[in-house]
Amino acid sequence: MPEVRLVGPNGEQVGIVPIAKALEIARESDLDLVEVAPTARPPVARLMDYGKFKYESAMKAREARKNQAHTVIKEIKLRPKIDPHDYETKKGHVVRFLKAGDKVKVTIMFRGREQSRPELGYRLLQRLADDVEDLGFVESRPKQDGRNMIMVIGPHKKKTARGQEAESTA
């Protein structure tokens, strides 16, 4: 005769009972009989309101998704022969993105004869990384990808608002 270890609705142990008896107890208490550990000897079954259980687990999953950190990658494009003022403007955008907690993908586009001088792009990316090192770190080193050179800068771990206020008053 097949038996199950029965657990009550509040987590209390009922004991080892035949399946028919467990189903009868579930019907009397207007609950569902749910198998929670099928590989155990004997299998473990629990008395619970299954609809309520499914609803609560869906709410927990939804809450977990809401609290999840969303990583956003912003992209900024440069050219090797960039004007100093344009460079400062683009650097300002990178600073703003990093302060917002987003990753920044910096792309340098090479055209024509610029492709024969990748070291210009590399130097420009290094300069940008050095200029924003207090806000972010280089996640992936500059890599040549066809006509483009790509580098990813990630923000440092976020400080709390209170931590930033205490730092600025000190």
- Residue boundaries of the structural domains of the chain: 3-50, 73-156
Query: Would you tell me how many other CB atoms lie within 10 Å of the CB of residue 98?
Result: 21
% helix / strand / coil in the chain, to the nearest 5? 40, 30, 25
- Using DSSP, state whether 90 is helix, strand or coil: helix
CA nearest neighbour of 90 among 123, 120, 131: 131
Pairing of strands 44-48, 3-7: parallel
CATH code of the region 73-156: 3.30.110.10
Q: Which fold has domain 3-50?
A: Ubiquitin-like (UB roll) (3.10.20)
Tokens of 22: 């467990």
Tens of each residue's pLDDT in the chain, 170 residues: 688 999 988 888 888 999 999 999 999 999 999 998 999 889 999 999 999 989 999 999 998 888 877 778 999 999 998 999 999 999 999 999 999 888 999 999 999 888 888 998 999 999 999 999 888 899 889 999 889 999 999 998 765 444 455 455 55
Strand partners, 48: 32
Determine the distance from the C-alpha atom of residue 39 to the mean position of all C-alpha atoms in its chain, rounded to a whole number.
33
